Amino acid sequence: MILWNNLDKLTAYEELKNVKKVDLKEAMSGENGAKRVKQYNVCMAGGLKFNYAAKQVDDAVLEALSKLAKEAQLLEKYEELYNGAVINTGEKRLVLHQLTRGQLGNAVNADGVDKRTFYVEQQDKITAFANKVHSGEITNAAGDKFTTVVQIGIGGSDLGPRAMYMALENWAKVNNTFKMEAKFISNVDPDDAAAVLNGIDVEHSLFVLVSKSGTTLETLTNESFVKDALKNAGLEPSKHMVAVTSETSPLAKSDDYLAAFFMDDYIGGRFSSTSAVGGAVLSLAFGPEVFAAFLEGAAKADETAKNEDLLANPAMLDALIGVYERNVLGYQNTAVLPYSQALSRFPAHLQQLDMESNGKSVNRFGEPVDYATGPVIFGEPGTNGQHSFYQLLHQGTDIVPLQFVGFKKSQMERDVVIQDSTSQQKLCANVVAQIVAFACGKDDADRNKQFEGGRPSSIIVGEQLTPQALGALLSHFENKIMFQGFTWNVNSFDQEGVQLGKVLAKKVLAHETDGALKEYSDLLDI
């Protein structure tokens, strides 16, 4: 029997609070640190490893976290999710993003169809369409191949696919799988669409409109912007546009699109990179085989998340260490710091993924919770961040847990030796130095130069950022957030917090305002 209890009602949580805190500075100094780096290491999918030696944990804390995982029934709740239970209680929906990349459990039937079959059919449709575009079977009116694909979407229809595209762009070029350049239009600010359209050849561009409902205001506004640009160039918009939408939306069977690929209500936008939302643009940009490898990495990570042993389940382990930091140690923020320029937009995607999922103050039943839930997520790639906000991370009054990501090899494998080391070696040296500097600090008689240390971090390490590694990395964080939501007993799969602003914006545009809403509207000449 599955029990959905609040965190503060769990016996294991009370025990966790009483476990002796780890002195991280002492634990990571000298030979102690060396032993921890070797010991606190777990293999992930996609050739990745999760090292948590520099976290404020020891065997006693880990044992308490294992008890918490069992009492909170995290694995049983995960099993409920992938077997098709109504996990999204707020919207009374199934949660099926894992099913886009593999079958973890029983067949899931909804809307009168087997959902795994449905998702595979959409991927097959995208594969066939992308292959025809690449071969020149589908062309523009002049018979020329399309060279650019532009995704029009916002939120999860933009952040995830954009981050994944940027992560694999250079890899695809080096490995001769790069097919089409991709651009993204998301913001309703007209400067966004104008900048993209001014920088491409619209005659040779294919536009992917992503809107589940077919009514998203920002997306439809940008679609009109694009259609105007196509008409002004003497082109027929319907010959340059495809839709990713639901089968019941007004876009599904419209003659305004070359093709339509379908998604459904069981996959939230921020979890949709492995669905048709990411599949269309990534398959067009890199080829369906690359997207398939990306899905494979994610599927293997989903399987790893089923492991009953906490110390062999990196997503659950990462999640519970995060709960310990948030609810016992009292840390309010988490910085995501990839030492890979290819992952420069990955923190922005995780920002939405985490904060939209677990930024909740009521439990699954709409009752207020008396403990902290999701942290504030932010980040930038290293080493850029070191010359920006690391000052606060090292010497500020708040301790901010850190999640590093690093790779032994660069994607392009083009480098130069300066002062006896390559750029990649310098990059890796910096992340190693930062982990130890944050943990151990430095004593100095000059207080301005004093580093207190005791600042926790983990690192995910891989050989190289490949499609499989990226899929595994994405799945790791999706599952981490899921496990944290289960532990906090919140619904991680709705996002009511984004709705109020939309409603008020419509009132402003309809000039149905009074009070402060009217005054602010006048301030901006709306």
> Which residues are catalytic, by number?
356, 387, 502
- What is the spatial distance between Cα 266 and Cα 249, in angstroms, rounded to a whole number? 15
Q: What is the DSSP string of 288-326?
A: HHHHHHHHHHHHHHHHHTT-SSGGG-HHHHHHHHHHHHH
Q: What is d(CA 157, CA 470) in angstroms, rounded to the nearest whole number? A: 18
**260 neighbors 146 (Cβ within 8 angstroms):** no
Decide: 164 and 238 in contact? Cβ < 8 Å. no
Q: Give the chain's end-to-end CA distance (angstroms, integer).
A: 55
Residue with tokens 């994944």: 164
Q: 85 - beta bridge partners?
A: none
> Phi then psi for 440, rounded to 5 degrees?
-100, -25
For residue 364, give both structure tokens: 């699954």
Buried b (16+ CB within 10 A) or exposed e, 488-518: bbbbbbbbeeeeeeeeeeeeeeeeebeeeee
CA angle, residues 363, 369, 371, in degrees to nearest 5: 125
User: Tokens 């769990």 correspond to what residue?
Assistant: 10
Tokens standing for 54? 């520099």
- Token pair recorded at residue 132: 């025809």
d(C-alpha 231, C-alpha 159), whole Å: 28
